[in-house]
């Protein structure tokens, strides 16, 4: 470019002062360009090595995207067919949808459940609750007037009341999840149990603590920021023995236990 400028200057009859300016510019440009060319030569092997390492990964990503793109129409047809079965009340589709939805629920403790759907309008869920020791800590934090945070011990009554609220709240969560996963379901039965040791023998047994039946029309009116799970269980068909100190006493197993355990 500098040579081109010089040739143009000569052809146009530009004075020597301007030519000197052009020559100085060429010298400065040369001084700046040569180090960059040297840096380019040094960087080229690094760039080539990066390309060699990254291109196979990029190529695999492109191929995976293309495979997913090609498979998308068939996957959409399968999803549409599954949705049609679900809306039509197909029991296998309802069971799969409900089990997958419940499996996606995340708890900060260990809990599990078993599900049975004998007909398209009704589901039965057995909920294995966490033990109180695993769900409700013995201590809690309390903010002091000084701004400090202090660990204080919960009373047994406080722990039992919080555990009762947690256990019954899980019933509402499971029921709402079931209704969302099964569009034809009108009733969801939930029974919950926890492992306790039998006095005297120390044998670990399953103690049921509540059994409840929820209707879709009732569950649709729950507001998470307002609902009291214990009051809900008292207002619908249920069996629960909640004592004044917050303790959930054992009740007999539900008559449909064998259905959900099958």
Domain range annotation of the chain: 2-69, 89-261
Q: For the chain, how many residues are written?
A: 262
Contacts of 255 by beta carbon, 8 Å cutoff, 6+ apart: none
**pLDDT above 90 for 55:** no
pLDDT at 190: 95
**pLDDT above 90 for 25:** no
pLDDT at 30: 61
pLDDT grade for 231, boundaries at 50, 70 and 90? very high
Q: Is 173 exposed, middle or buried (0-12, 13-18, 19+ CB in 10 A)?
A: middle
Q: Are 211 and 181 in contact (CB under 8 A)?
A: no
Strand 139-143 with 149-153, pairing: antiparallel
Lowest-pLDDT choice from 163-177, 186-200, 230-244: 186-200
Structure tokens of 74? Answer: 């068939």
Q: Kindly state the average pLDDT of the residues 82-111.
A: 89
145 φ, ψ (degrees, to nearest 5)? -60, -30
Q: What is the pLDDT of residues 167-192, one digit of tens each?
A: 999 999 999 999 999 999 999 999 99
- 113 forms bridges with which residues in the sheet? 127
Max avg pLDDT among 8-22, 24-38, 57-71, 161-175: 161-175
**pLDDT above 60 for 122:** yes
Q: Kindly state the average pLDDT of the residues 214-242.
A: 91
Q: Kindly state the average pLDDT of the residues 114-129.
A: 93
Average pLDDT, the chain: 83
Higher local confidence (pLDDT), 111 or 169: 169
Contacts of 100 by beta carbon, 8 Å cutoff, 6+ apart: 181
pLDDT at 5: 55
Max avg pLDDT among 12-16, 24-28, 140-144, 236-240: 236-240
Higher local confidence (pLDDT), 37 or 124: 124
pTM of the entire predicted model: 0.69
**Helix boundaries (H) for the chain:** 2-12, 16-87, 91-103, 132-135, 156-181, 216-219, 229-235, 257-261
How many CB atoms lie under 10 A from the CB of residue 102?
19
């Amino acid at each position: 470019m500098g040579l081109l400028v010089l040739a143009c200057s000569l052809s146009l009859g530009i004075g020597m002062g301007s030519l000197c300016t052009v020559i100085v510019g060429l010298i400065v440009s040369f001084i700046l360009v040569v180090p960059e060319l040297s840096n380019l030569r040094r960087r080229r092997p690094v760039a080539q090595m990066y390309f060699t390492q990254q291109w196979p990964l990029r190529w695999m990503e492109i191929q995976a995207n293309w495979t997913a793109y090609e498979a998308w129409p068939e996957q959409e047809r399968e999803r549409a067919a599954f949705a049609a079965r679900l809306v039509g009340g197909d029991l296998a589709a309802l069971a799969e949808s409900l089990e997958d939805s419940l499996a996606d629920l995340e708890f900060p403790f260990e809990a599990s459940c078993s599900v049975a759907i004998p007909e398209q309008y009704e589901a039965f869920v057995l909920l294995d609750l966490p033990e109180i020791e695993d769900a409700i800590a013995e201590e809690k934090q309390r903010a002091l007037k000084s701004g400090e945070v202090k660990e204080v011990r919960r009373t047994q009554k406080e722990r039992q009341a919080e555990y009762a609220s947690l256990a019954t709240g899980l019933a509402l969560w499971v029921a709402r999840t079931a209704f969302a996963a099964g569009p034809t379901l009108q009733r969801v039965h939930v029974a919950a149990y926890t492992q306790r040791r039998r006095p005297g023998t120390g044998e670990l047994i399953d103690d049921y603590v509540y059994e409840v039946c929820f209707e879709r029309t009732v569950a649709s009116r729950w507001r998470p920021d307002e609902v009291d799970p214990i009051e809900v269980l008292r207002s619908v068909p249920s069996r629960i023995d909640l004592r004044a100190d917050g303790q959930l006493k054992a009740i007999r197993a539900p008559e449909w236990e064998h259905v959900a355990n099958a």
